[in-house]
Amino acid sequence: MPTEQSFAVIGAGILGAAVAAEVLRRYPSAQITLLEKEQRVAAHQSSHNSGVVHAGLYYKPGSLKAKLCRRGVDLIENYCAEKALPYERCGKLVVALDEAEEQRLNAIHTTALANGVPEVSMLGPEGLREIEPNATGRAALHSPHTAIVDYAAVTQSLVDDVQRAGGILRTGCTVNRIEERGDVAILHTSAGEFRAGRVISCAGGQSDRLARASGAGKQPRIVPFFGQYFLLEERHQQILNGLVYPVPDPRYPFLGVHLTKRVDGSMTIGPNAFLSLSREKYSGLGFDPRDLIETLGNAGFWRFSAANAGAALRELRSVASRNFFVDQAARYVPSLAGASITPLPRGIRAQAMNAHGRLLDDFALDRSERVLHVRNAPSPGATSSLAMAEYLVNLLD
């Protein structure tokens, strides 16, 4: 019979792994099982991302997202140092190309300072070129503490920590629903029933389905968006020292094409952001009938589409044309004009959307007596993962 210190964590992505590790750090004698429907850990968003450790430039001051991002940066940097995992504080420039973008950039600078982002500064064209000699722009915000990491490696390391501390990892085990019965939560899975005193669900792209099946609210619902990254040819691998991003356009819900260095030394451009035909298929058309039918049957999605038709047309160009990708990158690094690029495996963002068609911009949770569902863990979810784990375990307390 489970006790108050028996736990089940659903989902062995970076957040689920971090939660399981935090439970055992807090309660060394606890019984904990980490359940993952795939045959390996970090199978989805945790291994299909840019690898950026975000400093907290854009997020509303005082929001949960802003607080957890800043705490998460320190935790993940320290963890990587402790475990000798690759971590590079390469820095990031957010570049304005015209006067309107410069005004928005000044507002981002104010937000970054309010969030306590260290050593951020505004630069003119000459200062920009001192940091990135191959880049150009009217002005730039420099964030020297923005870093890059391998989130899949971090996830595997956290899972190794859990297992060394006596936790159990069960892969190939799909949780279909969770039933609360008195002082126990019963997990109905593809491998039979499991019982625990407390359950934390970090189910990513399946979070809304599992929550609904377990009696939680119908909203928010997951709408998947894919993001395609491209690898620059070898002669352009060293073209930047760090990361170069555009100034976010408030008319669009996503950031736009940027240049991202990776810990293996490669340089990528991307991503776009367009409706995905599935939640978890990464090649070809990525078509899953159930996923697509559920998206198209979501009234909130149609409200979102009507409000973002312009953004959809812009992103459709990036889906249809690699040259468009390169042209967008060359606005910031002119010597990239005409560069050859190779597609990388796409990522799929598990984006929560409410009934009004608005994308949820912060973490969202559903909580009952024995079960905690993470319904939305948006970017910078990976950066914030260790801090989010602290927050979730605090809620259990």
Out of 6-15, 61-70, 301-310, 311-320, least confident range: 311-320
Model confidence at 2: pLDDT above 50: no
122 confidence band (pLDDT: 50, 70, 90):
very high
Q: Which of 307, 245, 246, 304 is nearest to 275 (CA)?
A: 304
What span, in angstroms and rounded, lies between the C-alpha atoms of 365 and 388?
11
4 — pLDDT class (breaks 50, 70, 90): low
Distance of CA 183 to the CA centre of its chain: 34
Q: Give the model's pLDDT for residue 255.
A: 76
Cis peptide before 380 (omega within 30 of 0): yes
Separation between Cα atoms, residue 49 and residue 44, nearest integer Å: 9
Residue 397: its pLDDT value, please?
75
What is the spatial distance between Cα 315 and Cα 319, in angstroms, rounded to a whole number?
A: 6
Q: Phi/psi of residue 222, each to 5°?
A: -80, 130
Confidence class for position 273, pLDDT limits 50, 70, 90:
confident
Residues 6+ apart with CB under 8 A from 123: 93, 130, 131, 139, 140, 141, 142
pLDDT at 1: 32
pLDDT in tens, 303-328: 999 988 877 777 777 676 788 889 99
Closest CA to 323 of 309, 336, 311: 336
Tokens 């940066």 sit on residue:
73
Domain(s) of CATH 3.30.9.10: residues in the chain: 91-146+223-352
| CATH of 91-146+223-352 among 3.40.50.300, 3.30.9.10, 3.40.470.10, 1.10.10.60 | 3.30.9.10
Q: List all residues 6 or more positions away from 279 whose beta carbon is below 8 Å from its beta carbon.
A: 205, 206, 222, 224, 288, 291, 348, 350
Residue range(s) of every CATH 3.50.50.60 domain in the chain:
6-46+152-220+360-396
pLDDT at site 292: 97
In 50-175, where does DSSP find H-type helix?
64-83, 99-114, 125-131, 151-164
CATH fold of the domain at 6-46+152-220+360-396: FAD/NAD(P)-binding domain (3.50.50)
Residue 318: both structure tokens together: 């990036």
Average per-residue pLDDT in the chain? 94
- Cβ-proximal residues to 24 (8 Å cutoff; 6+ apart), any chain: 30, 32, 161, 162, 165, 166, 167
